[in-house]
């Protein structure tokens, strides 16, 4: 049995039609894209052999199918042999007029979670920009006076007392460096959008990391060479990738692995505030095998002054979030012990930027 209607092919939600014997009777294009499998490889196959779910659903599904009732399963990882698992909600519903046939609808939670996280971090970043200007103006000038006064005092003090004035000077300079980072965060130039080869920027970032802060790491390339150019500011995108690579290097022990991955995800679309649709199919991932982010920190990692490192300023990832937001992209993170993934979603340079 197959469904041959325009609605079926237009559904944005990955959906499979399951026969009474649990084989896949039909699949819509969104399901094929999500599973990275063709309809030819899906049709007739047992659904549990093609759709990998980290929960025992067979018995519960069989009861729902036999009774003709709806079954909802939330917060499970769903994948296939051809793509990595993604956090999803799943709904099974009987197909009216066809006994034993069920619709299986897969709703990736990543997109909704990233929309919320992105909106929150963008709002926090804008607030931090205003604070940055205030801090720079109100604090740097008095600190310069304090540093100068301490240096003058030290000229007429004993060695023991000079240690105290040296401490004042050292700590004042440390605060000035922090304020300079805050100034950088608040005074970025607007992005110069142009057609950018993602892999050229990835290679520059990888080469810079491999001879510097990431020399102790194994950097692995996993690129899709067929990707088109993106619309971005090349220098700012390089800054973003260097920041993510530096964070990954600092999180891992010597001998750790960082994987740079690029791929195409055609189903990723978002609606802007003006009602137009933005397509963000180009994906860049920075994946490390470090200990992962603390669970209570992960939802706030892109907010200013939130840091998982001792003595960290918490401005690096807030800056990353702002730069990606400025070019109309998204950034999100998934983290478990042994695997942390920062994922950037960007538009295609040649595509229409909005549609009705």
Cα-based distances in Å from 6 to 11, 13, 52: 9, 14, 28
pLDDT by residue for the chain (356 residues), tens digit each? 778 777 888 787 899 999 999 999 999 988 998 888 888 899 999 999 999 988 888 999 999 999 999 998 887 888 887 766 777 889 999 998 888 999 999 987 755 555 555 555 555 555 555 566 566 667 767 888 888 888 888 888 887 788 888 888 888 887 777 676 666 555 556 788 999 999 999 999 999 999 888 889 999 999 999 999 999 999 889 989 998 999 899 888 777 899 999 999 887 776 665 667 778 899 999 999 988 888 777 667 776 655 555 554 455 787 788 788 888 888 888 888 888 999 999 999 974 444 43
Helix, strand or coil for residue 33? helix
Task: Provide the b/e sequence for 114-151 (b: ≥16 CB within 10 Å).
Answer: beebbeebbebbeebbeebeebbeeeeeeeeeebeebe
């Amino acid at each position: 049995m197959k469904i041959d209607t325009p609605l079926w092919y237009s559904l944005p939600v990955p959906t499979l039609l399951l026969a009474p014997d649990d084989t896949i009777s039909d699949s819509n294009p969104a399901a094929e894209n999500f599973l990275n499998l063709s309809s030819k490889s899906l049709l007739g196959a047992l659904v549990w052999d093609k759709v990998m779910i980290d929960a025992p659903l067979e018995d519960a599904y069989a009861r729902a199918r036999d009774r003709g009732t709806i079954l909802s399963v939330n917060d499970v990882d769903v994948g296939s042999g051809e793509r990595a698992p993604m956090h999803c909600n799943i709904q099974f519903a009987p197909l009216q007029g066809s006994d034993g046939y069920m619709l299986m609808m897969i709703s990736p939670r990543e997109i909704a979670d990233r929309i919320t996280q992105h909106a929150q971090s963008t709002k926090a970043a804008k607030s931090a920009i205003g604070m940055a200007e205030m801090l720079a103006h109100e604090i740097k000038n008095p600190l310069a006076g304090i540093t100068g006064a301490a240096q003058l005092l030290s000229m007429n003090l004993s060695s023991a007392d000079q240690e105290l004035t040296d401490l004042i000077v050292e700590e004042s300079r440390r605060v000035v460096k922090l304020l300079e980072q805050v100034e950088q965060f608040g005074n970025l130039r607007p992005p110069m959008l142009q057609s950018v080869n993602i892999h050229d920027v990835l290679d520059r970032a990888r080469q810079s990391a491999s001879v510097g802060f990431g020399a102790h790491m194994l950097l692995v390339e996993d690129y899709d060479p067929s990707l088109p150019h993106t619309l971005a500011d090349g220098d700012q995108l390089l800054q973003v990738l260097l920041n993510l690579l530096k964070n990954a290097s600092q999180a891992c022990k010597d001998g750790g692995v960082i994987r740079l991955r690029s791929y195409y995800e055609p189903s990723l679309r978002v609606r802007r505030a003006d009602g137009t649709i933005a397509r963000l199919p180009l994906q860049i991932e920075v994946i490390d095998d470090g200990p992962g982010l603390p669970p209570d920190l992960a939802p706030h990692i892109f907010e200013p002054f939130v840091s998982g490192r001792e003595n960290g300023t918490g401005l690096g990832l807030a800056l990353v979030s702002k730069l990606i937001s400025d070019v109309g992209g998204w950034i999100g993170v998934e983290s478990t012990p042994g695997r942390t993934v920062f994922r950037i979603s960007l538009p295609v340079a040649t595509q229409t930027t909005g549609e009705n």
